C-alpha cells in the first residue's frame, strides 16, 4: 500500500489489516491470536467467568473481527448492543430465562438484525425501501449478524476469552426490544456472554455428530450409515456427560424434546407475529 510518510505498520501485520479495513490508524490492536484451526477446534461454550475485567480494546477488536465477515451485497444489515452495566445485565438475564451467566459476564452483547439503517438511508434519499418488507431481507440480516457474531467469537476465543451464545433473548422479544430501546426494523437475534473463563469450572469440548451424519457428497441423501452415526453419537455424548458430572441423556432424546411441540419453543412459537409488530412484515 502507498505510504509516503512511512508510518504504516508492516504489510500483512494485524495493524496493516486493521488499517486497510478502516483506513484509520486509531484502532486498538488485539493481543496475539494463535493458530486459527486450533482455535476453532478448541471451541467450548463457557458459562463461568472470573471477575477479571476484559483487556482494554477487547470490544473494538471483536467489532473489527465481526465487521471483517462477509456481508450479503455488503449491506451490513446488523448491529450489536454492548451491555456492561450490572443492573442492565441483570434485567436482560431475567428476560432471557434467568440465566445467571449473563449477569456474571463482564460483557453481554446483543446481536441485532438491523434493517433500520437501510430504511433511513433510503428515506433520506427520498427513495422507497419496500424490499426490506420481505422475508428475504430479514433472513439476509440474520445471516449477516450470525456471520459477524461468529467472527467475533473466534477472535475472542483466540484471545483466550470464553463465550456463550444466548438464544433465550428471543423468549421475550418485545421486552428485550424495549429494554434495549430498539427502533422498528431491528430485532435481537441472540446474545453473547463474554468473559475470562473461570479455571475452577473449566468447560470441555463437546463432541459433535460423526461427519457421516452431516456431510453428503454431490447430492443430499439419507445414508444407511446415518442411523448408526446417531447411535454412536448418543454413546459418545453420554460418555461426555458422565465425565462432566451431568445426567447422561441421549442426544436423540434431547433433540426430540426440543422440537416436540410449540410449547418446547419457550415462547418463541409466536415469533412471526412479534416480528410483524416490530416492523418486519416478512412478505
Ligand atoms: C444461537 C445459539 C443460541 C444459544 N443459546 C444458548 C442459551 O440461551 N443458553 C446457553 O446456556 N447456551 C446457549 N447456546 C449454547 C449451546 O447450547 C452450545 O453451543 C451447544 O450445546 C454446543 O456446546 P459447545 O458450544 O460447548 O460446543 C446457544 C448456542 C447458539 C449457537
State the average pLDDT for the chain: 91
Contact assessment for residue 146 and residue 138, using Cβ atoms and an 8 Å cutoff: no
Torsion of CA 31, 36, 40, 46, to 10 degrees: -10
Stretch 256-269: mean pLDDT:
95
Confidence of residue 249 (pLDDT cuts 50, 70, 90): very high
**Beta-carbon contacts of residue 128 (< 8 Å; ≥ 6 apart):** 122
Q: Is 52 helix (H, G, I), strand (E, B) or coil?
A: coil
Stretch 203-230: mean pLDDT:
86
Determine the Cα–Cα distance for residues 96 and 108; give it in Å rounded to an integer.
12
**Beta-carbon contacts of residue 115 (< 8 Å; ≥ 6 apart):** 77, 132, 137, 138, 141, 185, 186, 279, 280
- Output the DSSP codes for 16-58: HHHHHHHS-S--PPPPPP--HHHHHHT------B-SPPPPTTH
The pLDDT of residue 211: 83
| Model confidence, pTM | 0.91
Q: Which residue has the cell 461468529?
A: 150
What is the percent of the chain where pLDDT is above 90? 76
pLDDT at 12 over 70: no
Ligand 1 pocket mutation, candidates 167, 176, 240, criterion most atoms within 8 A of CB: 167
Return the exposure string of 147-174: e unless at least 16 CB atoms fall within 10 Å of the residue's CB, then b.
Answer: bbbbbbbbbbbbbebbbbbbebbbbbbe
Stretch 252-263: mean pLDDT:
96
Q: Which residue has the cell 500483512?
A: 12
Q: Which residues line ligand 1 (CB under 6 A)?
A: 43-45, 47, 99, 164-168, 190, 206
Determine the Cα–Cα distance for residues 195 and 184; give it in Å rounded to an integer.
31
The pLDDT of residue 3: 43
pLDDT at 34 over 60: no
Confidence of residue 67 (pLDDT cuts 50, 70, 90): very high
Ligand 1 pocket mutation, candidates 164, 233, 241, 266, criterion most atoms within 8 A of CB: 164
Task: Report how far ligand 1's centroid is from the alpha carbon of 134 (Å).
Answer: 28
What would the grid cell of residue 164 be? 456463550
Least confident of 10-19, 54-63, 130-139, 159-168: 10-19
Contact assessment for residue 203 and residue 44, using Cβ atoms and an 8 Å cutoff: yes
**Residue with the larger pLDDT of the pair 92 and 217:** 92
The pLDDT of residue 6: 47
Q: Is 224 helix (H, G, I), strand (E, B) or coil?
A: coil
Determine the Cα–Cα distance for residues 20 and 231; give it in Å rounded to an integer.
49
Contact assessment for residue 167 and residue 104, using Cβ atoms and an 8 Å cutoff: no
Stretch 197-203: mean pLDDT:
96
- Ligand 1 atom nearest residue 44's Cα: 26
The pLDDT of residue 32: 58
**Beta-carbon contacts of residue 37 (< 8 Å; ≥ 6 apart):** none
Q: Using one digit for the tens of pLDDT, what is the confidence trace for 86-122?
A: 999 999 999 999 999 999 999 999 999 999 999 999 9
Amino acid at each position: 500500500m502507498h505510504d509516503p510518510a512511512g508510518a504504516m505498520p508492516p504489510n500483512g501485520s494485524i495493524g496493516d489489516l486493521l488499517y486497510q479495513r478502516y483506513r484509520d490508524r486509531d484502532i486498538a490492536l488485539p493481543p496475539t491470536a494463535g493458530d486459527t484451526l486450533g482455535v476453532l477446534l478448541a471451541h467450548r461454550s463457557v458459562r463461568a467467568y472470573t471477575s477479571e475485567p476484559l483487556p482494554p480494546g477487547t470490544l473494538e477488536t471483536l467489532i473489527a473481527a465481526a465487521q471483517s465477515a462477509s456481508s450479503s451485497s455488503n449491506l451490513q444489515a446488523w448491529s450489536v448492543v454492548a451491555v456492561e452495566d450490572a443492573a442492565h445485565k441483570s434485567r436482560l438475564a431475567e428476560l432471557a430465562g434467568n440465566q445467571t451467566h449473563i449477569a456474571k459476564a463482564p460483557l453481554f452483547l446483543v446481536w441485532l438484525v438491523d434493517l433500520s439503517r437501510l430504511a433511513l438511508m433510503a428515506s433520506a434519499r427520498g427513495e422507497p425501501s419496500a424490499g426490506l418488507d420481505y422475508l428475504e431481507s430479514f433472513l439476509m440480516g440474520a445471516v449477516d449478524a450470525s456471520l459477524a457474531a461468529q467472527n467475533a467469537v473466534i477472535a475472542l476465543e483466540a484471545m483466550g476469552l470464553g463465550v456463550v451464545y444466548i438464544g433465550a433473548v428471543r423468549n421475550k422479544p418485545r421486552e428485550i426490544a424495549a429494554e434495549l430501546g430498539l427502533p422498528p426494523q431491528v430485532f435481537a437475534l441472540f446474545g453473547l456472554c463474554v468473559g475470562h473463563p473461570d479455571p475452577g469450572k473449566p468447560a470441555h469440548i463437546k463432541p459433535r455428530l460423526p461427519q457421516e451424519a452431516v456431510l453428503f457428497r454431490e447430492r443430499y441423501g439419507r445414508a444407511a450409515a446415518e442411523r448408526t452415526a446417531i447411535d454412536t453419537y448418543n454413546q459418545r455424548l453420554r460418555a461426555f456427560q458422565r465425565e462432566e458430572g451431568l445426567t447422561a441423556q441421549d442426544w436423540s432424546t434431547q433433540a426430540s424434546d426440543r422440537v416436540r411441540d410449540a410449547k418446547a419453543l419457550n415462547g418463541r412459537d409466536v415469533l412471526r407475529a412479534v416480528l410483524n409488530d416490530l416492523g418486519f412484515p416478512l412478505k
